[in-house]
Chain A
Amino acid sequence: MNINGVQIDATFAEAFPMRATRVIITAQNLKWAYHAAQAMTGFATSVIACGCEAGIERELDPSETPDGRPGISVLIFAMGGKGLAKQVETRAGQCVLTSPTSALFAGISEGEKIPLGKNLRFFGDGFQIAKRINGKRYWRVPVMDGEFLCEDTTCTVKAVGGGNFLILAESQPQALAACETAIEAMKKIPNVIMPFPGGVVRSGSKVGSKYKALSASTNDAFCPTLKGQTKTDLSPEIESVMEIVIDGLTDEDIKKAMRAGIEAACSLGAENGIRRISAGNYGGKLGPFLFHLQEIMA
């Protein structure tokens, strides 16, 4: 398959099941909602070492938020419900509770409940106030700038993590430009996040390492500087490879995001140095979700 001079490999991305939740952060203005959301989704690129993968899904208009203020919706993914609950609570406590004028609400109302403000309320030292509004419980925790308003719980749902595709280009700036174009297009798709910095990963990994202590190491087959040193997957003209990793609430959401991203990257075409689109997989052994590139782009 070839789109605009860009070869689409006959391969697939391999993804695995995760648990996810959505939370809504509101604040006096979008600037402060972003401060809280960026803090909450910081150091959350990969479950391998961060405990969760998190990202900003989109901005919310005041008409879309529970308290009628500008907001940000955040998606957080982890390998299991317990781990997710721990990450959500820790991040809510350290990043949102602390952020001026913020309030925190559940963004998913069906599924398995995990605490949001349920335990954070104890920060109120007995002065916290519960309010049940439309069947939902909220906590008003007195803080130095006024009150921190937080929903009691949020819900977790089954989700999919690790959807991906690789952009292979003739130069590093061209690969990055294609990734930026792809990310802009993918940000418009709901229910997905691209958890890595700016949505792009330059250090794709393979399973295993020559060092026994490491479970993953650099994906040498796609490292352009190793073309003559290892069993490479790159042709001579490829000088840079970058990856976009996608977590989504369903596999359909990931497919939509992959299609939007690949389409956008391919729109730059071969004349801009974009030569191939490939994907990372582990031979189909790791995850039950396989995203075949050519099927998605058909």
Chain B
Amino acid sequence: MTALTFTLKAETKQRVDVSPLTPDRLADRPANDIGAELLQCGNRQIRADELFSIEGQNSDCLIFRGSSKLDYIGKGMSRGEIRVEGDAGSYLGMHLKGGRIVVNGNVDAYAACEMKNGEILIRGNAGDFLGACLPGNKKGMAGGVVIVKGNAGDRVGDHLRRGAILIEGDAGCYLGSRMTAGTIAVLGKVGDHLGYAMNRGTVLLAQMPPSIPSTFNDCGAHTLGFIPLLLKGFRGLETRFSEMSDPLKRVRRYAGDMCGLGKGEILVAL
């Protein structure tokens, strides 16, 4: 069976909520039923087959050929795979419970927002608030792995609780702000206000940032046994981190944010 493919017929002026189109919700449904699914588009509801040409049968593997206006791709999905050929909108993989989402282009803000488990691979760049929580909420991403091959925006991992965010490019300002636990690793550069109000958790950096916040204290250089174990855990995923146990083995440890609980850590490879 070929993957169930949604190809946008024409660029939409309004953003589209495609959250009803997940492997969980489309399982065992006939083609005409899937086409009749109503999608919120701006202030209107439009049938899926009006927006997309729909091909294929395998509802365990969905493909979106669309635009950066498709929001909530894979929201709450618990199994299967979604592939996005091109860019994706905001809230990609929000509340994801399992399965895998692969985006070949860029994604907008709030990707992996309040994600619980599963895997998201973004081959382009990610917007702000990657792996964060919705405004006003206090529990961000709580499990799973997010891999960004490009750069990520500001506030990555805001209120992160568990899981790993692996960024192979650069990350913006306020990386790991208000983190409760979990791991963020960055191979490139990071912006200002790193670990702002961080309570616990680990930020692992391959490069020394321009400055370490004054509310983080130097704990010295160490060879930490858990780092090879952590990176070995990413084997089988499409990430350079799984092969980096040697360059990232020895680190300088900074503990903070001392304005708060102060049990978070920034580890910088030496």
Chain A residues with CB under 8 Å of chain B are 66-69, 103, 126-127, 129-134, 138, 140, 146-147, 149
Q: Is the CB of B162 within 8 A of A147?
A: no
- Interface presence of B260 (CB below 8 A): no
A68 to B231, CA, bound (A): 11
| Min CB–CB distance B244 → chain A (angstroms) | 13
Name the B residues within 8 Å of A133 (CB-CB).
226, 229-230, 233
| Min CB–CB distance B107 → chain A (angstroms) | 25
- Interface presence of B177 (CB below 8 A): no
| Min CB–CB distance A90 → chain B (angstroms) | 23
Q: Is the CB of B229 within 8 A of A66?
A: yes
Q: Is the CB of B224 within 8 A of A146?
A: yes
- Interface presence of B181 (CB below 8 A): yes
- Interface presence of B183 (CB below 8 A): yes
Partner of B226, one of A127, A134, A138: A138
Name the B residues within 8 Å of A66 (CB-CB).
229, 232
Q: Is the CB of B224 within 8 A of A147?
A: yes
- Contact A132-B225, Cβ < 8 Å, known A68-B232, A68-B245, A127-B263: no
A140 to B232, CA, bound (A): 17
Q: Is the CB of A131 within 8 A of B228?
A: no
A147 to B202, CA, bound (A): 15
Q: Taking CB as reference atom, which chain B residue is nearest A146?
A: B222
- Interface presence of B200 (CB below 8 A): yes
Q: Is the CB of A140 within 8 A of B223?
A: no
Q: Is the CB of B225 within 8 A of A147?
A: yes
| Min CB–CB distance B41 → chain A (angstroms) | 39
Contact residue range for chain B? 20 to 34
Name the B residues within 8 Å of A69 (CB-CB).
225
Most chain A beta-carbon neighbours within 10 Å: one of B163, B229, B263: B229
Q: Is the CB of B228 within 8 A of A68?
A: yes
A122 to B83, CA, bound (A): 44
Q: Taking CB as reference atom, which chain A residue is nearest B162?
A: A132
Name the A residues within 8 Å of B232 (CB-CB).
66-68
A140 to B225, CA, bound (A): 9
Q: Is the CB of B228 within 8 A of A146?
A: no
- Contact A149-B226, Cβ < 8 Å, known A127-B263, A129-B200, A130-B181: yes
Name the B residues within 8 Å of A68 (CB-CB).
228-229, 232, 245
| Min CB–CB distance A122 → chain B (angstroms) | 15
- Contact A103-B181, Cβ < 8 Å, known A68-B232, A127-B263, A131-B230: no
Partner of A149, one of B143, B202, B222, B225: B225
A129 to B230, CA, bound (A): 13
Q: Taking CB as reference atom, which chain A residue is nearest B222?
A: A146
| Min CB–CB distance B7 → chain A (angstroms) | 36
Partner of B228, one of A67, A126, A132, A134: A67
Interface string of B139-183 (1 = CB under 8 A from A): 000010000000000000000001100000000000000000101
Name the A residues within 8 Å of B162 (CB-CB).
132
A55 to B145, CA, bound (A): 38
Closest 5 CB pairs between A and B? A133-B233, A134-B233, A149-B225, A67-B229, A68-B228
Q: In the complex, which residues 70-98 of chain B have their Cβ closer than 8 Å to any Cβ of chain A? A: none
